[in-house]
Amino acid sequence: MTDCYLQFYVAENRRHRHLLVYEWLLQEAQKFGLHGGSAFRALAGFGRHGRLHEERFFELQGDLPVEVGFVVTTVEADRFLAHLAGEDLNLFYLRVPVTCGFTGDAS
């Protein structure tokens, strides 16, 4: 099997079905039986509209980019992306081939 890194970028304050999108993505992935996922909040970033989002001491607005990522098989990625396509969400994603494993004793 071939593994890939499936990565989504969302605004920190964006919601879907009354949940933050990054929380919803993690919950959906868990329901699908994916083996793990992580969400990382950016210090700053900009998207396709060119607007810079950055954290400043006096204006914590909650619109920073959040990266949500999963290491999955290509079959799992296909299934998960097909599911998301039916959820009325417009999400930007990356799908990158990866080699992964464990160091030492993985027991």
pLDDT in tens, 16-58: 999 999 999 999 999 999 999 999 987 766 767 777 666 665 4
Alpha helix locations (H) across 2-44?
Answer: 21-31
CA triple 10-52-70, angle to 5 deg: 25
Determine if the pTM surpasses 0.85.
no
Within-domain flag for 17: yes
Convert the pLDDT of each residue in 88-100 to its tens digit: 899 999 999 999 8
Within-domain flag for 102: no
Count of structural domains, the chain: 1
Separate counts of helices (H) and strands (E) for the chain: 2, 8
Host domain of residue 70: 3-49+63-90
The crossing angle, in degrees rounded to 10, of helices 21-31 and 74-85 is 130
**Among candidate residues 50, 6, 51, 46, the one with its CA nearest the CA of residue 28:** 6
